[in-house]
Amino acid sequence: MNRIAVYPGSFDPVTLGHINIIQRGAALFDRLIVAVAVNLEKQTLFPEEDRLRLLRKSVETLPNVEVDRLDGLLVDYVQRVKAGVVLRGVRAVSDFDYEFQMAAMNRRLARQVETVFLMADESAAFISSRLIKEVAAMGGDATPFVPSHVGPELAARVALKNGGRNR
Ligand code: ADP
């Protein structure tokens, strides 16, 4: 059986928490498609091309992982690529409510698509894209929480946004 899973998210930017879920997902499924949500309601720090590029570089050593853009409804995408599973990660109780709602909605939209959750690894349970952007924006060192090629780009983006403050 060819088990294909889709791991959707905004990845703004990719963190070591995401990488942990990707590595574990790659071991569980034959193929894992990391789907980067574009045209989001929320404003992102990194434009779509950067979020895709940083992720692609992060997974280049994982042969059964690919990165794609996700435009439109997740369940439509999942069915288009013939995947049966949506992969998501959960950190704390605070993630649960949103994840539960989304999984339930997706199930109503497409009953045959299952959402599979992986519990955050204890080493990454406190890492979120939102928090590492906050740390970087306040002049803190966010490099321990992101892949090595992401650190310098995060600092540069934040500096650009701050217009040189905290430098
Ligand atoms: P979204 O905007 O859809 O929440 P994110 O890029 O923030 O997208 O996250 C994508 C998925 O990865 C979500 O399921 C989120 O809970 C999960 N995730 C994010 N950070 C971690 C982490 N440190 N450990 C485990 N799962 C995580």
Domain total in the chain:
1
**Ramachandran class of 112: left when φ > 0, alpha when ψ lies in -120 to 50, beta otherwise:** alpha
Query: Is 129 close to ligand 1, i.e. is its CB under 6 Å away?
Result: yes
User: Where in the sequence is the domain holding 120, given as residue range(s)?
Assistant: 4-124
The answer to the question of residue 164 being in a domain is no
pLDDT at 46: 96
Q: How far is the CA of 146 from the centre of ligand 1 (A)?
A: 13
pLDDT in tens, 29-77: 999 999 999 987 889 999 999 999 999 999 999 999 999 999 999 999 9
The answer to the question of residue 153 being in a domain is no
The answer to the question of residue 89 being in a domain is yes
Rounded to whole angstroms, the Cα distance separating 161 from 98 reads 29
The answer to the question of residue 71 being in a domain is yes
Rounded to whole angstroms, the Cα distance separating 70 from 11 reads 12
Which residues have C-beta within 8 Å of that of residue 164, sequence separation ≥ 6? none
Strands 4-9 and 31-37, sheet pairing? parallel
- Ligand 1 pocket mutation pick from 14, 18, 77, 91 by most atoms within 8 angstroms of CB: 18
> Above 50 in pLDDT, residue 167?
no
Structure tokens at 21: 């879920």
42 is catalytic: yes
The answer to the question of residue 138 being in a domain is no
pLDDT in tens, 107-117: 999 999 999 99
The answer to the question of residue 55 being in a domain is yes
Alpha carbon separation from 123 to 7, 77, 90, 92, 119 (Å, rounded) = 20, 31, 13, 13, 11
Tell which atom from ligand 1 comes closest to the C-alpha of 16: 23
User: Which domain CATH number covers 64?
Assistant: 3.40.50.620
What's the average model confidence in pLDDT over 96-100? Answer: 94
Tracing tokens 């045959």 back to the chain, one arrives at 112
The answer to the question of residue 110 being in a domain is yes
What's the average model confidence in pLDDT over 108-127? Answer: 96
pLDDT class of 94 with cuts at 50, 70, 90:
confident
107 is catalytic: no
The answer to the question of residue 14 being in a domain is yes
pLDDT class of 165 with cuts at 50, 70, 90:
low
Query: Is 115 close to ligand 1, i.e. is its CB under 6 Å away?
Result: no
